[in-house]
Each structure stands twice: as structure tokens, then as C-alpha cells.
Amino acid sequence: MFQDILQQTFLHNRILDYIICLFAFVSGIVIIRIFKGIIIKRLKVWVKKTTTDDLLIQAIEKDLLPLLYLGVFYLSIQFLTLNPALGKGINVLALILLTIFGVRFLL
């Protein structure tokens, strides 16, 4: 019975595919939060000893973390079969955001 539910198709994807996509997305968010909680916190303590490294922490929090969230979303969507127009739109949007965040991080 449960296997039948997981194999049902909705918008050209099985329910199992949606669950895998959601699991990948939530797992990625948890990993980023752990990274933010542990690594960034330790870097902040280490950076307090100097005055010039504060810009690096600001750049990581302001530009790199949103880029990681975008990457998690993009990778989790890859588990789904999307309409070609929607898939192309997501690819273009991800490329635009990647460019914007990449340039902001470097400047």
C-alpha cells in the first residue's frame, strides 16, 4: 500500500521523487546551518584579534551563504523532471544569481 502511494505520479514525477527532492533540500539547509553555526562562529572569534579580516566574514555571510542556499535549491530540484521551459528558466535564473553573488563576493 505504501509502495503504491510512493509510485503515484503527480506532474510527471513520482511522490518518491518529491520526497527525495525535499530530503536533499532540507539536508543541504541543515548542513549550511551547521557550517554557519560552527565555522563562521569560530572564524568570528579568530577574526576579532585583527581589524582587517572583518570584511571577509561580512562577505561570507552576505554573499557566500546565499550562494550556498541557491546551490542547495538548484541541486535538489535536479531530482525532479521539470517542464523544459521551467527547467531552462531555473537554469537561467540560477546563472544570473550566481553571477550577481559571485561579483558581489569579489568586490
- pLDDT tens digits, residue range 43-59? 888 888 777 667 777 87
Say what the pTM is: 0.81
Between the alpha carbon of residue 35 and those of residues 7, 31, 77, the distances in Å are 35, 6, 22
Q: Where are the domains of the chain?
A: 14-106
Binning pLDDT at 50, 70 and 90, where does residue 32 land? very high
Q: What is the mean pLDDT of residues 60-81?
A: 90
Q: What is the mean pLDDT of residues 80-98?
A: 93
